[in-house]
Amino acid sequence: MPGKYGKNPHFNPYGNKGLSDDAYMSERQISGTLDNSIYFGLTKSIVLQTLYDIIEECSVDNWDGYGAKAIDMTSFNEARRFLCFLPESLPTPEIAVEPDGEIAFEWFHSKRRVFSVSIGGTGELAYAGLFGINKMHGTEFFGEKFPKIILNNIHRVLNDD
């Protein structure tokens, strides 16, 4: 039976298991207020709404028809944290969900100019990019500061150099 936050009745993106539905709704409204605040910025609010929409689709196992895992809750929370750190000056990333349940942000500029970051629940970021004839991939820990290498590669893909 579908749940309030998607098709999976046990999926709660806020991780507060054991609370009533009214409590969940209160938390979502409060969180939604913070997420939509001037501090958060209009661009990020749009991205966050897209994230919620995608969660609706990917909250159950096999959401892609090929055995994908449902969205990982800790990955969702880390994705929100990642979004908070993103400079407002950057273009809106596209959001995708990977078969392991992790959420990814993608910046697409043009053919063979694309960069993506996957947000794991353990704080590890897996990234990869195509920059014309060049390509790269790697991992970086997402601690208290936004990884410079991620920011550098976002700028790299957006600039025609």
Residue 25 is which amino acid?
Answer: M
Nearer to another protein, 108 or 146 (CB): 108
CB of 131 to another protein, least distance (A): 11
Q: Give the chain's end-to-end CA distance (angstroms, integer).
A: 51
Please tell me what DSSP assigns to residue 6. Answer: B
Closer by beta carbon to another protein, 18 or else 67 = 67
27 versus 94: smaller Cβ distance to another protein? 94
User: Burial level of 5, CB count in 10 A (0-12/13-18/19+)?
Assistant: buried
Helices (H), the chain: 21-35, 42-58, 73-85, 148-158
State yes or no: residue 130 binds another protein (CB under 8 A): yes
Using the minimum distance from each CB to another protein, give the nearer residue, 27 or 114.
114
* 152 vs 43: CA distance, rounded Å: 20
129 binds another protein (CB under 8 A): yes
Number of residues that bind another protein (CB under 8 A): 38
In the complex, what is the shortest distance from the CB of residue 157 to another protein, in angstroms, rounded to a whole number? 11
Q: How far is the CB of 98 from another protein (least distance, A)?
A: 5
Residue 94 binding another protein, by CB under 8 A: yes
Rounded to whole angstroms, what are the CA distances from 37 to 20, 24, 42, 65, 83?
26, 20, 8, 37, 14
Backbone angles phi, psi at 77, to 5 degrees: -65, -40
Q: What is the nearest approach in angstroms of another protein to the Cβ of residue 104?
A: 7
Instruction: Give the interface with another protein as residue ranges (CB under 8 A).
Output: 7, 54, 57-58, 60, 62-69, 94-100, 104, 106, 108, 111-112, 114, 116, 118, 126-130, 135-139
